[in-house]
Chains A and B, each alone.
Chain A
Amino acid sequence: MSETAAVLELRNLRKLFPAGRSGIWARTSEFVHALDGVDLRLEKGEILALAGESGCGKSTLALTLMGLEKPTQGTIWFEGEDVTRQSRAGRQRLCRQIQMVFQDPYESLNPLMTIGEIVAEPLDVHRLAQNREERRGRVEKALEEAGLKPAHIFMNRLPHELSGGQRQRVVIAAALVLEPEVLLADEPVSMLDVSIRAEILNLLAELRERRGISVLLITHDLATSAYLADRVAVMYLGRIVELGETQAVLESPAHPYTQALLSVIPVPNPRKRRERIILQGQPPNPVHVPAGCRFHPRCPKVMERCRVEDPVLAAVGAGSHQAACWLVSGGGSDE
C-alpha cells in the first residue's frame, strides 16, 4: 500500500476559528483549534475512513481540502502539487478533481431545481459539455452510475419528490459528472434510514472498484468504516491519533481513545465482547487544548509523561499501523 502514490497529502494542517461570535466588547484572542496539525495521506484508489467524535474537526478537514475554508497553517498536496493557496482558476480546476458529498441530503439540493438541472450544473459551470446531447448524455450516465435507473424518469423531478437515499444519490451523481479523482464523503449516511445506509456505502465501494476513485469517508462510528474502508484514521481534537489498516486498527487498537471507541460498539460474538471503557473527565474543548497529550485528561492509562509531552504518530509493530501515544512510542506495551 505504501508504494502507491498519494493523491492527497496533508502536512501539519491547522485551522483556527475565532472562538465565540465576538461583538464589539469581546475582543477575542481565543481560538477554536478545529484542526491542530493534521498529517494524512490518501492513497490512490483507497477508501480511508476518518472517524472521531462530534466536533473533533472532521467536517472542517473536508471543507479545507475543498478549498472552502482557508487553512491557517500547513500544506495540502494534490498529486504532487502544492494546492494550499490557489488562484481562483486553480481552485476551479481543483474542484473538478476533488468533490464532496454532504451529510444532509435533505438540505444539500436546491429545492427549486430539477434533478436534471442539479446534475448538469457542474457541467455548465465548468463548460464541459459541447452541446445539449452530450450534456444530457453525461447527466444520465452519472445518474445511472449513482444508481438512479432509469435516469430519464428522474430528470424532471424536484428534490422533494425523492427519498433521502435517492437524494444522496443525486448529490453523488452531481459529484460524479465531473469525474473527480477524490470523493470526500462527510458522514454520507448518518441522516439516512438504517435500511438504506448499506446501499449508499456499497455504492461508494462500487465507484472505487469501477473508477478507481479515492474516497475519504468521514464517519463518527467505527463500525461503518470497518464495513468498507481499507484504512482507518482516528481523529481526536483536531489531530490524527491513530492510523492503520482497518483490520489492524479494529483488532488491536493501540491508542486508548480508539480502544474506548471500539469498546462501546456492540459485538455480535458474545465471547469476543470487550470490557466497556467509559471515558471519564471533561468532554474535549477545542478552545483550550490540554497540554501534553491532548487525550490525557480522559485517558484511563494516563502516565506522568502524558501531562507534559505531546506524543507524535509512531509505528505500532511492523506494518503501517501508527498511533500517537506514549504507550506506543515510549516502549510500553499496548495492553
Chain B
Amino acid sequence: MSAVTTTSFGTIWRSARRNWMALAGLSMLAAAVIVAVFAPLIAPYDPKADLKVSIDDIYAPPSAAHWLGTDDAGRDVLSNFIYGARVSLIVGFFASFISVFIGGTIGITAGYFGGRVENILMRITDIMLVIPDLPLAVVLVALTKPSLMNIILVIGLLGWTGTARLVRSQTLSVKERKFVLRAKAIGCGHFHILRRHIFPLVLPLLVANTVLVISLAILEESTLSFLGLADPTTLSWGQMLNFAFTRGGVSAGAWWALIMPGLGIVWVVLGCTLLGQGLEQVLNPRLEWHHLSVGPKMVARGAKEERP
C-alpha cells in the first residue's frame, strides 16, 4: 500500500513541478496555511481579548499601532484577518473532505459496479446537481443553529456532485483495463480490486479535484457568512465583510475593513484553482474533451499538449 501511495503522490509532485500554474497555486495555498497555523505568533493583537474602546478606535484608519486600521468594535483588522484565515481554511478543508469522501465513494461504486447500482446513484447525483446549491444552503443553514459545524456539514453535504461524476468517469475507464480483468482471473474480490487496482489510479485525480472543491467550499462559506448566516462569534473573512457592510463600515469610508478579507478570499480561491486546474491538466488529459465533468473552464482550455 505504501508504495502505491508514494507513487501517486510522487506523480502529483512531479507534475506540480512541471506546471507553473500548479506551482504558483501551491505556494499561495501554502502561504495561507502557514498564516493560519501560526496566527497567534504573527498577529499583533488577540482578537478575543477584552478591550476598552473609545470612539476614536472605531474604524480608525491605518496607523503605526494598527497597520490596517480597526473595525466596528475597535479591533485590529490585520489580526482579525490573520485569525480569519483559520476559519476559512478549516471550513474549506473539512467541508471539502466530506464532499470528496461522499462523491468519491458514490463515483467509484457507480463506476465499478455499473448496472442498476450505477443508475440509482447517478440519478441521485443528477438531482443534487440541478438543485441550486446556494439557496438550498441558505435555507438549511437558516433552519439550523448557526455554528461552524453546521456550516461545514451543509457545505460538505451539498458539494459532492462534481466529484462523483468525475470519479465515476475515471473509474469507468480504469475498470476496462486489462489488469483489472487479470485481477479477477487471479480470484481477487471486488473490495480488493477497488482498493488495489481502481482507487490508486483514481487517487491523483481525486486529489486534484479536492483542491478545487476546497476553493468552492471557502467561497461558499464566505457567501453564507456575508449573508449573515454564520455564527457571529467566529470571525471568518466572510463575517468580516458582513460586519463591515452591516455595521456602517462603508458609510464610514473604512476601505481597510473591506479590502483585506476580500483579498484573502481571492488569494486562497485563486491558489486552489490554479493548483487544482494545473494538476488536472497534467493528470487527466481526458478532461480536454470531456466538457461535462466539472468546472466551467473545461471547454475553453485548449488541447495544447498532453494528448495521448
**Interface residues, chain A, CB within 8 Å of chain B?**
66, 68, 91-92, 95-96, 99-100, 102, 104, 107-114, 117, 121-122, 125-126, 158, 171, 174, 178
The answer to whether A114 and B184 touch (CB under 8 A), given A107-B179, A108-B179, is no
Please measure, in the bound complex, the distance between the C-alpha atom of A171 and the C-alpha atom of B186, giving whole angstroms: 11
Could you write out 15 A-B pairs with CB less than 8 Å apart?
A66-B185, A95-B185, A95-B187, A99-B186, A102-B181, A108-B179, A108-B182, A110-B179, A110-B183, A112-B7, A121-B186, A121-B188, A125-B189, A174-B182, A178-B186
Contacting A at CB under 8 A, from B185-218, are 185-189, 192, 196-197, 200-201
Which chain B residue has the least Cβ–Cβ distance from A171?
A: B182
Return chain B residues, CB-CB under 8 Å to A178: 186
Complex A-B, nearest 8 residue pairs according to Cβ-Cβ distance, in ascending order: A107-B178, A95-B187, A108-B178, A110-B179, A122-B186, A108-B182, A100-B185, A112-B200
The answer on a CB contact under 8 Å between A125 and B184 is no
Residue among A100, A108, A158 with max Cβ neighbours from chain B (10 Å): A108
Which chain B residue has the least Cβ–Cβ distance from A100?
A: B185
The answer on a CB contact under 8 Å between B196 and A121 is yes
CB distance from B272 to the nearest CB of A (A): 26
Please measure, in the bound complex, the distance between the C-alpha atom of A171 and the C-alpha atom of B179, giving whole angstroms: 10
Please measure, in the bound complex, the distance between the C-alpha atom of A92 and the C-alpha atom of B245, giving whole angstroms: 67
Please measure, in the bound complex, the distance between the C-alpha atom of A174 and the C-alpha atom of B186, giving whole angstroms: 8
The answer to whether A99 and B185 touch (CB under 8 A), given A109-B179, A112-B7, A113-B4, is yes
The answer on a CB contact under 8 Å between B196 and A110 is yes
The answer to whether A114 and B3 touch (CB under 8 A), given A121-B196, A126-B187, is yes
Which chain B residue has the least Cβ–Cβ distance from A109?
A: B179
Contacting A at CB under 8 A, from B154-178, are 177-178
Return chain A residues, CB-CB under 8 Å to B8: 112
Please measure, in the bound complex, the distance between the C-alpha atom of A91 and the C-alpha atom of B192, giving whole angstroms: 16
Contacting A at CB under 8 A, from B1-52, are 3-4, 7-8
Interface of A is mostly: loop
Return chain A residues, CB-CB under 8 Å to B188: 121, 125
The answer on a CB contact under 8 Å between A68 and B182 is no
Please measure, in the bound complex, the distance between the C-alpha atom of A68 and the C-alpha atom of B178, giving whole angstroms: 13
Return chain A residues, CB-CB under 8 Å to B197: 110
Which chain B residue has the least Cβ–Cβ distance from A158?
A: B7
Return chain A residues, CB-CB under 8 Å to B184: 68
Please measure, in the bound complex, the distance between the C-alpha atom of A130 and the C-alpha atom of B124, giving whole angstroms: 45
Please measure, in the bound complex, the distance between the C-alpha atom of A304 and the C-alpha atom of B188, giving whole angstroms: 52
The answer to whether A112 and B182 touch (CB under 8 A), given A121-B196, A125-B187, is no
CB distance from A70 to the nearest CB of B (A): 13
CB distance from B31 to the nearest CB of A (A): 32
The answer to whether A104 and B178 touch (CB under 8 A), given A95-B187, A122-B186, A125-B188, is yes
From A91, A100, A112, B201 is in contact (CB under 8 Å) with A112
Please measure, in the bound complex, the distance between the C-alpha atom of A8 and the C-alpha atom of B187, giving whole angstroms: 19
The answer on a CB contact under 8 Å between A96 and B178 is no
Which chain A residue has the least Cβ–Cβ distance from B8?
A: A112
Return chain B residues, CB-CB under 8 Å to A171: 182
Please measure, in the bound complex, the distance between the C-alpha atom of A178 and the C-alpha atom of B60, giving whole angstroms: 78
Return chain B residues, CB-CB under 8 Å to A95: 185-187
Return chain B residues, CB-CB under 8 Å to A121: 183, 186, 188, 196
Return chain A residues, CB-CB under 8 Å to B178: 102, 104, 107-108
The answer on a CB contact under 8 Å between B181 and A68 is yes
Return chain A residues, CB-CB under 8 Å to B179: 107-111
Please measure, in the bound complex, the distance between the C-alpha atom of A125 and the C-alpha atom of B191, giving whole angstroms: 11
Return chain A residues, CB-CB under 8 Å to B192: 125
